Amino acid sequence: MTQIKHPVLERIAQEHYQAIKKYIVNRSTYNISMVEQWVQNCFGNEWNFQKLILAKPHELELLANQYKSKCCNVFGYFETLYSYLNQSDKFTDQDDKPYQAYELIVKLGVTVCPYCNRNTIYNLRYTKRRTSELDHFYPQSKYPFLAISFYNLIPSCKVCNKIKLDNDDKEYINPYDMRFDPNKNMKFSFKLKDATFYHSVDGFKIDYKFNQKISADEKNRIENNLNDFELKDLYQNHKDTILELIQKARIYNDSYIDELFKNYEGTLFKNREDLLRLITCGYINDEDIDKRPLSKLIKDISQELGLI
């Protein structure tokens, strides 16, 4: 689990809202005044169309809890808008500039699924095909009024989107939600089973540790993510990565790493982090773990082994 961060995230969200509004104004059979009236009729005068599209994760949670299965049928139109956004070239503004899921995901720069940190979700530039999907954190089948809300659209891999489907019976962590920090508060770990751990994946098992200061709410959400996205099972397929890190920790002691850095600084490596990324095959800084699959697993295990 990783967070979706971007230095201009709110600007990207605003551009998302403006693209949808332009489409309604210029191409839709409905007008923006009608849509505004739908929102106010359902949620009250303190809400408007822009606020609904830009609702932050905690506001989405509030709306979902209050209005589940109680909202107006008119919001089926939002599902239609999402269908255009996700699948076709119909979603264009008055200058016929396309705005689709492809453009949104490219702007966000998300290249690894934030739910699992296992699968890449790259986009193909020329054909605009993508290996990613947009998961509705709150499923549009139950919450059609959130079908095009920016912070409800999570770039994800096909595996995670298929696993999650319309499950909303439990609370999870929205990757946009900065109230929680699963990278800090949950760590991958491993427990030794026997003396074969240096050369066999059967010599240890994957474990998980929680920060002692973690709130009960966040721990519950993380455990729901781990269990319901089947991450505990899926990560068993990556025990070979942990085995390699165990072996590397024996080979690359501090003096050897110091020697390598001294010999190649300025030629192969601009800093020590570059060298450690080469050794571990993963990003080791918290802000970079979303750049490469399995980087959280690699970082957590490498720290436990004293490799980084």
Region of 131 (left: φ > 0; alpha: ψ -120 to 50; beta: rest) is alpha
Residue 74 corresponds to which tokens in the numbers above? 């008119």
Q: What is the mean pLDDT of residues 271-286?
A: 93
Check if the beta carbon of residue 149 is closer than 8 Å to that of residue 175. no
* Per-residue pLDDT band at 131 (split at 50, 70, 90): confident
Rounded-to-integer distance, Cα 46 and Cα 59, Å? 13
Q: What is the pTM of this model?
A: 0.90
Determine the pLDDT at residue 95.
61
Q: Tell me the pLDDT of the chain averaged across its residues.
A: 89
Give the pLDDT confidence of 159-196 residue by residue, as tens digits: 898 887 666 778 899 999 999 999 999 999 999 999 99
Q: CA 176, 177, 179: angle at the middle one, nearest 5?
A: 155
Determine the pLDDT at residue 126.
62
Rounded-to-integer distance, Cα 134 and Cα 247, Å? 38
Transcribe 129-196 into DSSP letters.
-BS-EEEESS-TTT-GGGTT-GGGEEEE-HHHHHHHTT--SS----TT-TT--HHHHEEEEEEE-SGG
Radius of gyration of the chain (CA): 22
* Per-residue pLDDT band at 42 (split at 50, 70, 90): confident
Beta bridge partners of 191: 205
Rounded-to-integer distance, Cα 5 and Cα 1, Å? 13
Rounded-to-integer distance, Cα 74 and Cα 303, Å? 52
Q: CA 271, 275, 281: angle at the middle one, nearest 5?
A: 135
- Taking each helix axis as running N to C, give the angle between helix 32-43 and helix 57-67, from 0 to 180 degrees, rounded to the nearest 10: 70
